[in-house]
Amino acid sequence: MFNKIGFKLIVAVGLTAIITIGVFAYFNIQRQSNALLAEVERHANQLSETVKSSTRYDMLLNQRDRIDKTIISIGSQTEIRNVRILNKQGEIIYSSHKEDVGKMVDKRAESCYACHEANRPLERLPINKRTRIYRIDPDSSRILGIISPIYNARSCWEAECHAHSKDKTILGVLDVTTTLADVDHEIKRGEIEIVIFALAAIIALSFIIGFLVRRWIDKPVNELLKATDQVGVGNLNYTIKDKGNDELGKLAGSFNVMTQKLSEARMQLFQSDKLASLGRLAAGVAHEINNPLTGVLTYSSFLLKRTQDNPELQEDLKVIVRETKRSREIVKSLLDFARQSVPKKNNVNINEVIEQAVSVVENQLTINHVKLERKLDQNLPQVIADANQIQQVFINLLVNANDAIGKGGGIITVSASSLSLSPYGVAQIKRAACPKRHDLVDNEFKIDGLPAIKLKAKFNGNEEIIHLDPVYGRRAHQYLKEVDENKKLNILCPQCNTSMNEENSKCPKCGSPLFSIPVPNESNFEACTRVGCDYQHWESVDEAGKKDYVEIKISDSGCGIPPEDVARIFEPFYSTKGQKGTGLGLAVIWGIIDNHNGTIKVESEMDHGTTFVIRLPLKQK
Amino acid sequence: MSHIGNILVIDDEQVILDAIEKICGSENYNVEGSLDAKDALEKLEKKKFDLMLCDIMMPEIDGFKFLDEINHRKIETPVIMTTGYSTVENAVNSLYKGAIDFIPKPFTADELLNSVSRGMKYFEIQKRINESSKLNRDTALIYVPCPAKYYRLGYAAWVSVENKGTALIGITDLFLKTIDAVSDIQFFKIEEEIIQGISCLQITSADGLIHSVLAPVSGRIIEINEELSKNKTIIEKDPYFQGWLYRIIPHDLNYELKHLIPCSSDRI
């Protein structure tokens, strides 16, 4: 829960909101309370000016009773706590609280501090210094006091009472104190409102972000996680539905493409493995079965020759001979199938091969009213291929297409074009020699039908022959014994024991030394000496970049292949034609294409037709 | 009734030895069997044979090594190879190493007898040549060897490379001498593919035997000798020029020629 990306995002957004809204609220409260206080201050100041001017006349006439009454009546207002007039000595002369009159005020008391700092009376006091805010005890509400000095004026020393002499500046001080209970209450309310607003905003924001994160991130990410788990356990048919069109949607899309490609690659590999072992098996079986078949065929055909005067026996013997000959043909096709591993390759113009194949089946197509459309790129570069075998492939596919269309007629489209694909996992080491020019390619040992690279490996004093997968990046190496994947091998030439390890270069993946096999006409093929490390580097091939392929598509408008059959059609002995075929056709085709380093795949839609897509590597520039 | 020929059969399967013995025995051949090449070599030291039938896939000494050994010991008895592992490579390789014929297993009694009868004839011709050369007579009277620039697969089929990148295919005079008069030729069709070491033609001889001719090179047939299909006797009169069989576009001539015997070597 706390590790979830959604939670983290909510926390991040929440914290940002708390900080910004908190700072905003703090300054807002500050500003509001300052404004309120300033207002109260101005009010109090105005009040003291009012008191001063309303008592001025009475002062000049020295009518103390009237002054008293005025002050008491002003001081009786609820917000006003006290109104006092003090003389210069600090004696309270008038007060709204009668009992205070005549008392002395301590000059160091709070109300006096502004003027009597350092025991020196001030002559002039700026207006902002005249207010003070204090509490009598911590529980009571705040009090605002404002002192307003009463300055000497001409009318004062010229008044009849002659109470003040001319040389005095300040005659006394008017001190008004008002309670701030209401203001404080107002400020408090404002604070609470802003805090509530801030909290509500933060919570609402978090909820909205949470909801959106759930909808836009959590769901698709979980879907992706589920899909990777599925792929992890080997279910490559899993696809992510309703992907959306944001970045995660695009990720899901490319994930789907990746699993599809993986599934195709696995299929090809699987076929390749199966066919390679089946090829060996077929060859072995063919040899073993041909000997007993020879016994049956020789004896039966011999009997047939000898019993020409016995027509009844002849009939039966003919069946035996015929059926044995049929077995012979089946074994022969098995052997043809096993034999494909050595194609005789030449520069081939694929368009010509297609035309030749078409000319073979053309009659058959015309009988079935099948129209053949050619979409051949006339500028196709040449392919290194066994023209015979490739033609066999095309003829087979065309005949299959014709069969799929049936008597009703239809269209077969043959197209050929070129395209580019990346070399990793495709390029093959066709020739390799040790530094002393001993051939390392072992034609006797094949990995997926391709001659392996034969090397001697030395580790812990043991010597062993290993067979390196010739396909760059595929690593289906063959070891005689099981080797621990952390073993670092010393790679030697099996003939002259020259080491091919390069102690100076280190594997960029695991730091083990590399070994390097010279490849004629190409840069050295480098790989990690540690058994389990998958680092391989083949500079010239990488530099050559993407490799070009010729893509041939043969589409028909026939009955299509049921989805459950599509996965199996390249398997040997899998036939949908019943008695008509041996079921070796497509397996043979697959083997031929595989031996040309090419790939073949099929796309089919029931009742709409089937397309076979073949890719053959182009001759390198 | 006396035997018309001594045949040595080498095969690691007893049932095949028995079958060949029966079939050939019925045609009055004397057949001896060996289960391995060593035993065969011992038999060859004691007795002369007119013909040998040898399997390729055998334990210890296989058919190819046996052929090498025969050549090494200068034993002149012709060898017909058979194998259950009847690949093109095996067929071509056997013929290159000096075998006179190749019968893929399983074979019928007739296929075997046809090949054996050709082998016996071949042996007779070789004997006559030896006798002629001892008497310093022109061996060309017995059969016409193929022209120097031609190549041959075994002794039966020849190929001649033409300038335009095409090649002509035909059968040798020696092969024709090992069979009875040609009564019928069954051609492949134009545009069909022929594959080196695999049958490309069937000749029916006057005695009713059907003989398969193995293609010397692979390629696509672009022309069939019309004259020959009209008049079968041309092939016997002029097997190397007018009596050609197919004109083909070869698939991989340079590679395949390496496995053929240049006819120029016959004249040294």
Q: Using an 8 Å Cβ cutoff, are A550 and A618 in contact?
A: yes
B163 shares a domain with B122: no
Phi, psi of B66 (to 5 degrees): -65, -45
**Cβ-Cβ contacts under 8 Å, A359 against chain B:** 191
A152 pLDDT tier (thresholds 50, 70, 90)? confident
- What 8-state DSSP symbol labels residue A217? I
Answer yes or no: is pLDDT of B266 > 80.
no
B108 shares a domain with B32: yes
Chain B CA closest to residue A329: B106
What is the pLDDT, as a whole number, of residue A421? 75
> Cβ of B25 under 8 Å from any chain A Cβ?
no
> Looking at per-residue confidence, does A296 or A4 come out higher?
A296
* Mean per-residue pLDDT, A317-327: 89
Among residues 232-291 of chain A, which lie with CB inside 8 Å of chain B? Answer: 283, 286-291
**Cβ-Cβ contacts under 8 Å, A388 against chain B:** 193, 195, 218, 251
CA distance A37 to A182: 11
What is the pLDDT, as a whole number, of residue A339? 58
In the block, which residue shows the tokens 């399997």?
Answer: B55
Pick from B83, B108, B255: which is nearest to A298 by CB?
B108
Q: Which of B248, B177, B182 is nearest to B216 (CA)?
A: B248
CA dihedral sign, ordered A42, A46, A51, A52: positive
Q: Average the pLDDT over each of A73-77, A445-449, B79-83, B246-250 and give the range with the smallest value.
A: A445-449
Distance from CA of A268 to the nearest CA of B (A): 27
For chain A, what is the mean pLDDT?
81
> Cβ of B110 under 8 Å from any chain A Cβ?
yes
If one looks up domain A247-339 in CATH, what number appears?
Answer: 1.10.287
B91 shares a domain with B30: yes
Q: Which of A555, A561, A563 is nearest to A575 (CA)?
A: A561
Tokens of B264: 């120029």
CA A448: distance to chain centroid?
A: 34
A361-388 pLDDT, tens digit per residue, is: 887 788 888 888 999 888 888 888 888 7
**CATH at residue B21:** 3.40.50.2300
> Cβ of B65 under 8 Å from any chain A Cβ?
no
What ipTM did this prediction achieve? 0.84
> Looking at per-residue confidence, does A363 or A412 come out higher?
A412
What is the pLDDT, as a whole number, of residue B32? 92
Q: Is residue B141 part of a domain?
A: no
Phi, psi of A585 (to 5 degrees): -50, -60
B169 shares a domain with B116: no
Q: Is residue B142 part of a domain?
A: no
Answer yes or no: is pLDDT of A469 > 80.
yes
What is the pLDDT, as a whole number, of residue B233? 86
What is the pLDDT, as a whole number, of residue B35? 92
Q: Using an 8 Å Cβ cutoff, are A493 and A434 in contact?
A: yes
Angle at B186 (CA atoms; ends B183, B192), nearest 5 degrees: 160
* Mean per-residue pLDDT, A550-562: 88
Chain B CA closest to residue A302: B109
Q: Is A369 exposed, middle or buried (0-12, 13-18, 19+ CB in 10 A)?
A: exposed
B122 shares a domain with B83: yes
Calculate Rg over the CA atoms of chain B.
18
CA distance A338 to B102: 20
**Contact: A360, B191; criterion CB under 8 Å:** yes
What is the pLDDT, as a whole number, of residue B246? 93
Chain A CA closest to residue B58: A287
What is the pLDDT, as a whole number, of residue B24? 92
Burial A388-412, CB ≥16 within 10 A → b, else e: bbbbbbbbbbbbbbbbbbeeeebeb
B183 shares a domain with B80: no
Looking at chain A, the whole-number percentage of residues with pLDDT higher than 90 is 4
Distance from CA of B112 to the nearest CA of A (A): 9
A181-204 pLDDT, tens digit per residue, is: 888 888 888 889 888 988 898 888
Q: Using an 8 Å Cβ cutoff, are A368 and A409 in contact?
A: yes
> Cβ of A325 under 8 Å from any chain B Cβ?
yes
What is the pLDDT, as a whole number, of residue B51? 93
**Cβ-Cβ contacts under 8 Å, B89 against chain A:** 342
**Cβ-Cβ contacts under 8 Å, A386 against chain B:** 251
CA A307: distance to chain centroid?
A: 80
Answer yes or no: is pLDDT of A115 > 70.
no
Answer yes or no: is pLDDT of B227 > 70.
yes
Answer yes or no: is pLDDT of A620 > 60.
no
B124 shares a domain with B171: no
* Mean per-residue pLDDT, A130-156: 80
**Contact: B16, A295; criterion CB under 8 Å:** yes
Answer yes or no: is pLDDT of A576 > 80.
no
Beta bridge pairs of residue B159: B151, B169
Answer yes or no: is pLDDT of B263 > 60.
yes
What is the pLDDT, as a whole number, of residue A415? 92
What is the pLDDT, as a whole number, of residue A127? 66
CA distance B94 to A272: 31
What is the pLDDT, as a whole number, of residue A341? 46
B161 shares a domain with B47: no
> Cβ of A566 under 8 Å from any chain B Cβ?
no
Length of chain B: 268
Which architecture does CATH list for A5-186?
2-Layer Sandwich (3.30)
Helix, coil or strand: residue A168: coil
Answer yes or no: is pLDDT of A311 > 70.
yes
| Stated pTM of the model | 0.49
**Cβ-Cβ contacts under 8 Å, A297 against chain B:** 106-108
Length of chain A: 621
**Contact: B106, A287; criterion CB under 8 Å:** no
What is the pLDDT, as a whole number, of residue A621? 46
State the best of A290, A337, A352, A353 to mutate against chain B, taking most chain B CBs within 10 Å.
A290
Helix, coil or strand: residue B5: strand
The structural domain count of chain B equals 2
Distance from CA of B129 to the nearest CA of A (A): 34
Q: Is A385 exposed, middle or buried (0-12, 13-18, 19+ CB in 10 A)?
A: buried
B173 shares a domain with B68: no
CATH fold for domain A346-421+546-617: Heat Shock Protein 90 (3.30.565)
Q: Is residue B231 part of a domain?
A: yes
Q: Is residue B38 part of a domain?
A: yes
What is the pLDDT, as a whole number, of residue A583? 55
Answer yes or no: is pLDDT of A345 > 80.
no
> Cβ of B19 under 8 Å from any chain A Cβ?
yes
Chain A CA closest to residue B13: A291
In the block, which residue shows the tokens 């592992």?
Answer: B85
* Mean per-residue pLDDT, A240-250: 82
Q: Is residue B146 part of a domain?
A: no
Distance from CA of A576 to the nearest CA of B (A): 27
**CATH at residue B228:** 2.40.50.100
> Cβ of A328 under 8 Å from any chain B Cβ?
yes
Domain that holds residue B129: 5-134
Answer yes or no: is pLDDT of A537 > 50.
yes
Please say which residue of B77, B103, B134 terminates a domain: B134
What is the pLDDT, as a whole number, of residue A580? 54
* Mean per-residue pLDDT, A484-498: 82
Q: Is residue B201 part of a domain?
A: yes
> Cβ of A396 under 8 Å from any chain B Cβ?
no
What is the pLDDT, as a whole number, of residue A490? 85
> Cβ of A388 under 8 Å from any chain B Cβ?
yes
Q: Average the pLDDT over each of A106-110, A374-378, B201-205 and give the range with the smallest value.
A: A106-110
**Contact: B251, A386; criterion CB under 8 Å:** yes
What is the pLDDT, as a whole number, of residue A260? 84
Sequence ranges of the domains in chain A = 5-186, 247-339, 346-421+546-617, 441-540
Instruction: Find all residues with CB under 8 Å of A534, minimum gap 6, and list them.
Output: A475, A509, A528
Beta bridge pairs of residue A173: A86, A149
Strand duo A370-376 + A410-421: pairing: parallel
A14-70 pLDDT, tens digit per residue, is: 888 889 988 988 898 889 888 888 888 888 888 888 888 888 888 888 788 888 888
Chain B CA closest to residue A327: B106
**Cβ-Cβ contacts under 8 Å, B84 against chain A:** 286-291, 294
**Contact: A287, B84; criterion CB under 8 Å:** yes
Q: Is residue B143 part of a domain?
A: no
Q: Using an 8 Å Cβ cutoff, are A148 and A176 in contact?
A: yes
Distance from CA of B168 to the nearest CA of A (A): 19
What is the pLDDT, as a whole number, of residue B142? 78
B87 shares a domain with B159: no
Distance from CA of A287 to the nearest CA of B (A): 5
What is the pLDDT, as a whole number, of residue B268? 47
**Cβ-Cβ contacts under 8 Å, B109 against chain A:** 298, 301-302, 304-305
**Cβ-Cβ contacts under 8 Å, B86 against chain A:** 290, 332, 335
**Contact: A298, B255; criterion CB under 8 Å:** no
Q: Is A430 exposed, middle or buried (0-12, 13-18, 19+ CB in 10 A)?
A: middle
> Cβ of B23 under 8 Å from any chain A Cβ?
yes
Q: Is residue B139 part of a domain?
A: no
CA distance A23 to A16: 11
B78 pLDDT tier (thresholds 50, 70, 90)? very high
